[in-house]
Every structure is written in C-alpha cells, then in structure tokens.
Amino acid sequence: MKQTDQKIMCPDCGTEIKGENTSAVGDILECQECGTEVEVLSLSPLKYQILVEEK
C-alpha cells in the first residue's frame, strides 16, 4: 500500500486538518473545528502529536 496523500486527523474531534500546502516537520496546524493545535513530528511516515499548551 502506498499512500502519498497522508492526512492529519485531529486527535480531539477527528476532523481532517488541512495544511496550507505541504506540511513540514515542526509545523503547527490548527484544527478548524475545535482549535486543537497539532505539531508535525515526521513526514514519512506521517507522525504528529497534539500540542498541549500549558498555562
């Protein structure tokens, strides 16, 4: 299985998060639905984690 079109799904609400163009490692993407921020850790394979903002 080859997947070149990897998508980032919001870990919180499951909505697909779309980057502006090509995501890069270290990019912070924000879910348009719930505002959760996700940091891109790796592109191949695609890994990302929820960005927890401490107060």
Q: Does position 10 bind Zn ion by CB under 5 A?
A: yes
Under rule CB under 5 A, residue 23 binds Zn ion: no
Stretch that binds Zn ion, among 9-17, 21-29, 37-45, 46-54 (CB under 5 A): 9-17
* 1, 2, 43 from 27: Cα distances, Å: 26, 23, 11
- Can residue 36 be called a binding residue for Zn ion (CB under 5 A)? yes
- The pair of structure tokens assigned to 7 is 């998508």
Q: Which of 8, 31, 38, 40 binds Zn ion (CB under 5 A)?
A: 31
Dihedral angle over CA of 6, 54, 31, 19, nearest 10: -50
Question: Any contact of residue 9 with Zn ion (CB under 5 A)?
Answer: no
